Amino acid sequence: MVGVLAVQALASGDRLRGAGSEFDVGAVALLAAATVLAVLVRRAPAVGALGALGVTVLWYQACYVGGLITLPYLIAFYFLGASGNLRSQLLVAGFAVVLTAT
């Protein structure tokens, strides 16, 4: 997954500059955190998905452009859905709705 993110970052470097913040150390740190959380989701799906959600919110609050953050976010939520734990899924969904509404 780290390799895919690195290739995508290099391939879309020009598209990351423009209306939002530059692709800098902060963006790399957020991508690294999201990747770690996406790997963590195998052991703790709810924690990984909530963490990926938080990092994604931070990404857009920092005005970074580009869809690099969506890959670990989607992976985390896929594994949460595949875990079969309905209670965790509803907890994360409720938190996501509240976070989005605020």
pLDDT at position 6: 56
Condensed to tens digits (0 to 9), the pLDDT of residues 18-76 reads: 445 566 788 888 888 888 888 888 888 888 888 888 888 888 888 887 777 888 888 88
CB 67 within 8 A of CB 16: no
pLDDT higher than 70, residue 78? yes
The pLDDT score that the predictor gives to residue 10 is: 54
Question: Which pLDDT does position 1 carry in this prediction?
Answer: 52
5 — pLDDT class (breaks 50, 70, 90): low
Query: Alpha-carbon Rg of the chain, whole angstroms?
Result: 14
The DSSP secondary structure of 25-80, one letter per residue, reads HHHHHHHHHHHHHHHHTTT-HHHHHHHHHHHHHHHHHTTB-SSTTHHHHHHHHHHH
